[in-house]
């Protein structure tokens, strides 16, 4: 598929990397020659220097034959205009990054309709939504939702003396009497899609699928269920901080935002009158202590510097703050943060890359794929996908034990009407079902791809 990406900043680079990995033909556009050259040196892409809102530049990039045009420059308005021009010049689908808080849901809907945008993406809002879900279930490292939030995949690490240590998966569900499934295990750099004979050990990072109620029940039985983080300190007054604080405030949580820039403090205080906004240097540990860091249920580091987020998150962890979340965009620093003991790390650029990847798969063939949801899990080494089952699915009506699945592929859940369940070998996939599939080492565009 021909994909054009306008803007070679952090978001554009992450999307380009993902699209190249997916096997698409990628062209990148930017006015900054150095940014384009950097991508040309790293990835197999075509580079065009120029303004993405200029018709000559778009035509040079091949927009007339583009299946997907993604505008990810630093300007919302430039992104929207370039998508409009790309559409008029022949691009079949357009995606614009729109991040300003000025564009609320109603105005953004109007913009999408008038400009014929296929999708708009807000990286900060996407990251805030991810953090919000975790703060509601602090025991988890990562939470992904399916079937309108009726089914979840949760990743967490087995601590020392975990109730799962030394347990074979075949015995877990009987021992804990729950409707859950261990679908991924990450041990060091290796990721497994385990079978019933697999044995878990302390230190493993595991992913389980279940309904939200079953996950709560399991965590309670394992004695790892933390209370919801209701007193939260957010370091940095970024857009992400605004979106997160707004969500937390809407459900009655107590939020304190630390921001060094006074004008930004005043702006946030006006936007979020119920939140406490403190002007000060959050890099000073004594200042954080004076603002009550020790008494917080959670600390969220959202400054513009990955290094500062990591260091201050480590400081919060050393004070035994129950939940610590760090925003880290650079892959090499993410690995360092994990080695330092930080578990919950959010990367807005990678979250956006996931959204675009899912959309690209959904439009990849003429009949349209039935990928409804896609998440990268286990540090990007596996995928969790949600498919809508069509009548023509060749495996429909056949019991799962009779289906020949590809290696490292697991059917982790089935949603049938209002019923959600972990399937057994006697169950069958039926037309109209939604099916959650976990896969490693392969790309899936359609449910039929799970079959040998």
Q: Give the Cα separation of 151 and 208 in Å (integer).
A: 11
Contact by Cβ (8 Å): 66, 2: yes
Q: pLDDT tens digit string along 31-63?
A: 999 999 999 999 999 999 999 999 999 999 999
Largest CA distance in the chain: 66
Q: What is the pLDDT of residue 372?
A: 83
What are the chain's domains?
A: 2-121 (3.40.50.720), 231-321 (3.40.50.720), 357-450 (3.30.70.1450)
Q: What is the pLDDT of residue 367?
A: 44
Compute CA distances 184 → 60, 198, 384, whole Å.
Answer: 44, 11, 10
End-to-end CA gap in the chain: 25
Q: pLDDT tens digit string along 236-253?
A: 999 999 999 999 999 999
The DSSP bridge partners found for residue 192 are 185
Contact by Cβ (8 Å): 314, 308: no
DSSP 8-state symbol, 67: S
Q: Give the Cα separation of 102 and 165 in Å (integer).
A: 50
Q: Where are the beta strands (DSSP E) in 246-378?
A: 254-259, 276-279, 298-301, 323-327, 344-346, 371-377
pLDDT values of the chain reduced to their tens digit, one per residue, 452 residues: 999 999 999 999 999 999 999 999 999 999 999 999 999 999 999 999 999 999 999 999 999 999 999 999 999 999 999 999 999 999 999 999 998 777 666 677 777 888 889 999 999 999 999 999 999 999 999 999 998 888 999 999 998 889 999 999 988 877 888 889 999 999 988 999 999 899 999 999 999 999 999 999 999 999 999 888 899 999 999 999 999 999 999 999 999 999 999 999 999 999 999 999 999 999 999 999 999 999 999 999 999 999 999 999 999 999 999 999 999 998 889 889 988 999 999 999 998 998 999 888 888 753 444 788 889 898 889 999 999 898 889 999 999 999 999 999 999 999 998 899 999 999 999 999 999 999 998 888 888 899 98
Sheet strand arrangement including 93-97: 46-49, 25-30, 2-6, 68-71, 93-97, 119-121
Contact by Cβ (8 Å): 416, 432: yes
Using CA atoms in the order 109, 73, 16, 120, what is the torsion angle rounded to 10 degrees?
0
| Half-sphere exposure in the Cβ direction for 397 (13 Å, CA) | 5
Q: Give the Cα separation of 323 and 223 in Å (integer).
A: 16
Residues comprising the chain, all counted: 452
Q: What is the pLDDT of residue 390?
A: 87
In the block, which residue shows the tokens 């006697």?
426
In the three-class reduction of DSSP (H, G, I as helix; E, B as strand; rest coil), residue 25 is classed as: strand
Q: Give the Cα separation of 16 and 43 in Å (integer).
A: 8
Q: What is the pTM of this model?
A: 0.89
Q: Where are the beta strands (DSSP E) in 306-408?
A: 323-327, 344-346, 371-377, 382-388
Q: What is the pLDDT of residue 430?
A: 94
- Selection from 377, 369, 313 nearest residue 351 by Cα: 377
């Amino acid at each position: 598929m021909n994909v054009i990406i306008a803007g070679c900043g952090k978001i554009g680079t992450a999307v380009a990397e993902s699209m190249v990995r997916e096997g698409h033909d990628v062209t990148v556009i930017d006015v900054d020659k150095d940014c384009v050259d950097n991508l040309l040196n790293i990835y197999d892409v075509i580079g065009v220097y120029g303004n993405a809102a200029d018709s000559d530049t778009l035509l040079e990039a091949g927009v007339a034959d583009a299946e997907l045009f993604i505008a990810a420059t630093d300007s919302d308005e430039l992104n929207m205009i370039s998508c409009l021009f790309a559409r008029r010049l022949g691009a079949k689908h357009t995606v614009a990054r729109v991040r300003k808080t000025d564009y609320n849901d109603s105005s953004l809907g109007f913009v999408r309709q008038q400009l014929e945008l296929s999708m708009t993406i807000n990286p900060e809002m996407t990251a805030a939504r991810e953090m919000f879900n975790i703060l509601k279930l602090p025991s988890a490292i990562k939470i992904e939702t399916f079937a309108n939030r009726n089914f979840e995949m949760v990743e967490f690490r087995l601590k020392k003396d975990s109730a799962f240590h030394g347990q074979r998966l075949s015995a877990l569900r009987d021992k804990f009497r729950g409707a859950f499934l261990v679908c991924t295990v990450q041990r060091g750099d290796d990721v497994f899609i385990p079978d019933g004979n697999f044995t878990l050990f302390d230190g493993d990072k595991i992913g389980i699928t279940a309904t939200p109620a079953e996950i709560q029940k399991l965590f309670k039985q394992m004695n790892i269920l933390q209370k919801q983080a209701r007193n939260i300190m957010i370091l940095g007054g970024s857009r992400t901080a605004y979106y997160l604080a707004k969500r937390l405030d809407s459900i009655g949580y107590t939020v304190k935002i630390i921001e060094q820039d006074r004008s930004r403090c005043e702006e946030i205080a006006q936007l979020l009158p119920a939140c406490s906004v403190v002007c000060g240097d959050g890099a000073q540990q004594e200042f954080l202590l004076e603002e009550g860091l020790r008494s917080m249920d959670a600390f969220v580091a959202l400054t513009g510097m990955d290094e500062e987020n990591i260091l201050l998150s480590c400081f919060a962890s050393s004070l035994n703050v129950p939940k610590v979340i760090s925003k880290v965009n650079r892959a090499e620093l993410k690995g360092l943060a994990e080695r330092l003991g930080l578990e919950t790390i959010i990367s807005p650029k990678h979250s956006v890359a996931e959204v675009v990847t899912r959309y690209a798969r959904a439009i990849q063939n003429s009949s349209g794929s039935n990928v409804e949801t896609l998440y990268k899990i286990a540090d990007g080494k596996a995928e969790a996908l949600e498919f809508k089952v069509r009548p023509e699915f060749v495996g429909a009506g056949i019991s799962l034990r009779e289906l020949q699945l590809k290696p490292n592929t697991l059917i982790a859940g089935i949603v049938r009407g209002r019923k959600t369940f972990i399937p057994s070998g006697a169950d069958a996939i039926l037309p109209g079902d939604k099916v959650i599939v976990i896969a490693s080492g392969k790309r899936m565009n359609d449910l039929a791809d799970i079959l040998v």
